[in-house]
Amino acid sequence: MFEVGFSEMVVIAVIALIVLGPERLPKAARMIGALTRRARSAVTNLRNELEREIAADELKRHLKEAEQSIQSAVQEVAKVDPLAGIKDDLNSLTPTDQPKP
């Protein structure tokens, strides 16, 4: 995020010591630390939430693709007549092939 080197940190600390004074500097440092932790926690939570949403969207997309595949397979199976072969055999029988009562 911010690229702050050691020399910049020393300059910031000296300025903070001059502006705040030695009595209020520790309290200000604790407050800045707490705010930094909260900000990092919020960023981490946001990142995790976005990753979950992306994973959920991908899962929904895969589920929809699977559903479409299953529907097309069901339609293909519905087109098939399981008795077609038997009907053809029965139609091809001649009267001589039929048993006598």
Helices (H), the chain: 6-79, 84-92
The model's pLDDT over 42-72, given as tens digits with 9 standing for 90+, comes to: 999 999 999 999 999 999 999 999 999 999 9
Name the percent of the chain lying above pLDDT 70: 90
Which pLDDT band, with edges at 50, 70 and 90, does 12 fall under?
confident
pLDDT computed for residue 45 by the predictor:
97
pLDDT computed for residue 98 by the predictor:
56
The model's pLDDT over 22-35, given as tens digits with 9 standing for 90+, comes to: 898 889 889 989 99
Whether pLDDT at 39 is above 90: yes
The Cα–Cα gap between 63 and 59 comes to 6
Closest C-alpha to 13, from 3, 26, 2, 1: 26
